[in-house]
Amino acid sequence: MPNDAASPESREPPVAVPPVVPASVRLPELTIKGVLLGILLAIVLGGANAYLGLFAGMTVSASIPAAVVSMAVLRAFRNSNILENNLVQTAASAGESLAAGVIFTIPALVLMGHWESFDYWQVTALAAVGGVVGVLFSIPLRRALVVEERLRFPEGVATAEVLKTGGVARGVDAMVEGLTDAGADDSTQRSSIRALGLGALAGAAMKFAEAGMGLWGGTLTVGGRALGTIWVLGINLSPALVGVGYIVGLNIAVVVFAGGVIAWLIGIPVYVWQAGLPAGDAINAAYGIWSTQIRYLGVGAMVVGGLWALINLIGPVRRGIASGIAAYRAARSDQGIRVVRTEHDAPMNYVLIATALCAIPMFAVYQMVLQQAAISALLAVLMLFAGFFFAAIAGYMAGLVGSSNNPISGVTIATLLFASFVLLWLLGPDNPIGPPAAVFVGAMVACAAAISGDTMQDLKAGHLVGATPWRQQFMELVGVISAAFVMMPVLYLLQARYGIGPPTEAQPDSLTAPQATLMGSVATGVFEGGLPWTMIVIGAVVAVFVIILDKTLETRQASFRTPVLAVAVGIYLPLELTTSIFIGGLVWWAAERSAAAGGGEQSLRGLLLASGMITGEALVGIGLALPIVLSSWSPVFGADMFRVATAPLGGWPGFVALSALAYGLYRAASSRR
């Protein structure tokens, strides 16, 4: 799941590992029960990731939790197997990846005032078409990026390892006979599902106690005036954020927190020294300065980081595309050679036809906004070309650093700026329809790029376990379309319960939607002017220095790196969010040291517990919106129907609970496996 917190790393040499299930063996892979379970998990995890992205500006991969749930559920059926479990996690991960593309862009249409609320069919069309295009664009790149390129695909490899925990003790012959799921280790699966469940219960309980019952506040924030300026420190008491920090690890967590330090402990004080002390409360003043000025440092850093990623990847992507085309031509010319099962992609002629047909709904969506057929047609064509290029970039980046660290915001910002300037040239300045039209283009590209990166991770996992590629590609489409139909209801519920955008007096706990807020500001600023260009330029300069530092560390083969897009994420997140992510990274580091001291590695239970914390909090966060929607039916329902207090002790009880949960996460992760 893309969280924009990575930069390219050196590629590892390929390791020739035979698949778990050889190409000559055929198992029940694409089954009705697997499809239904995949749809359900795509919907649930897609909704959870939508909440997380709007709240934290970051998303994480759910492939491993989905694989664990699939193995636990499908064990109830006699003929389940590793390939069926792989297809379930493929569909589920597509749903959660689509959420990233949606929440990074589409809320901007509400924040800009283009929509009063989310339009169901337009949101669904944007998500579905963008996601489908992402899957289609990834198909010609599979052989080049998954099979031939020496890429890490960390989450794909990890997911394959989790799927293998089912074991192959009975051997392939037993699997062919349809016996169980390859001799799964019952104790391992029970331990895994227990960790996932406990994490979900803990995250859900803390969110319900804070947001539902009002037992404590959601943040601890202190601020004041000193040394002629204002200072603010804070922590968000969110299990989900600690889980995010644990999953991304100490390196990324530190760099994201460093971005927060640049914005809040350097940028805001320096700005106040230059502009003078503001009146009123120091904390509110700091948030106002960050919202109107300092966060645009992140825009400059994001643009430079996105361009840097593109420059670095043009050559590899060009080689990958050429390799994919060569493989397709070879398959076409060798009519007498039968393609083995594990190399059987969706037919390329059908892929090309489907891709061309996607231009029709793209045109229809743009035409609804612009009401100008020629410009709508041009945007549809531009989106196809830009979508393919950026989908290839996202797929390659997923191979380098994983889906969770894929810099989708950088890709989307670059697309948005390009679309904005094209529309500015076509429509002229001060045209009110220009900014939302640019966001529509960016939304489709963001969805396509997010899904492309996820598809490559899933295809890597499938390549290692011996899956059939075309079946995985089909399940990606199933996951995308399933999640697309629930994105708007999830966004509607979250908007009704919390609000989306900068916090207000009426909605102090609003989900900040940092990427979507920036997308809307950038698109509007291109047409109307008013962007704080000084801050954007300073952010770009900061990004250049971060890139130089990162290249220096790379030259010295340092284990610690400073990916520029992670710094940009930290700059445009509220400080209390980056603090919680940093704490999660510290828990990962402490568990890693403890496990290493014992001569082992971190237990998978830590990752599953962290994933459960994210999912549990997210589902309760969405569920707390339901009473507001149901309030029109009965006065029994309402936003405060569960509330028993109004944070009598502030955030301190939540801090104690979160500390205990972090310690439990450390203990679970540090035990030897």
HEC assignment per residue over 436-494:
HHHHHHHHHHHHHHHHHHHHHHHHHHHHHHCCCHHHHHHHHHHHHHHHHHHHHHHHHHH
Give, as one character, the DSSP assignment of residue 641: T
Find out whether 95 and 42 touch, Cβ atoms under 8 Å.
yes
The tally of CA atoms less than 13 A away on the side-chain side of residue 362 is: 31
R_g of the chain computed on alpha carbons: 24
Mean pLDDT of the chain: 82
Report how far apart, in Å, the C-alpha atoms of 178 and of each of 20, 87, 172, 174 are.
15, 17, 10, 7
Tokens of 273: 């020294």
- Determine the pLDDT at residue 483: 93
The tally of CA atoms less than 13 A away on the side-chain side of residue 197 is: 8
Tokens of 215: 């037992």
- Determine the pLDDT at residue 14: 45
Residues of the chain with confidence (pLDDT) below 50? 1, 5-15, 167-184, 336
- Determine the pLDDT at residue 326: 67
HEC assignment per residue over 497-524:
HCCECCCCCCCCCCECCHHHHHHHHHHH
Nearest alpha-carbon partner for 207 in 229, 238, 244: 238
CB-based burial label for 427 (10 Å; 0-12, 13-18, 19+)? middle
- Determine the pLDDT at residue 7: 42
- Alpha carbon dihedral 326, 328, 329, 332, in 10-degree steps, equals 160
pLDDT in tens, 187-234: 666 777 888 889 989 999 999 999 888 899 888 988 888 888 898 999
Phi (first) and psi of residue 511, to 5 degrees: -75, 120
445/391 Cα distance (integer angstroms): 8
393/412 Cα distance (integer angstroms): 12
Q: Which residues contact 600 (CB under 8 A, 6 or more apart)?
A: 672, 673
Amino acid at site 634: S
516/105 Cα distance (integer angstroms): 5
Nearest alpha-carbon partner for 59 in 70, 45, 80: 45
Tokens of 239: 């299990």
Amino acid at site 628: I
What count of other Cβ atoms lies within 10 Å of the Cβ of residue 398? 35
By three-state DSSP, how is residue 182 classified? coil
Phi (first) and psi of residue 236, to 5 degrees: -90, 130
Nearest alpha-carbon partner for 175 in 363, 344, 26: 26
228/495 Cα distance (integer angstroms): 38
What count of other Cβ atoms lies within 10 Å of the Cβ of residue 36? 13
- Determine the pLDDT at residue 636: 60
Share of the chain above pLDDT 70, in %: 85
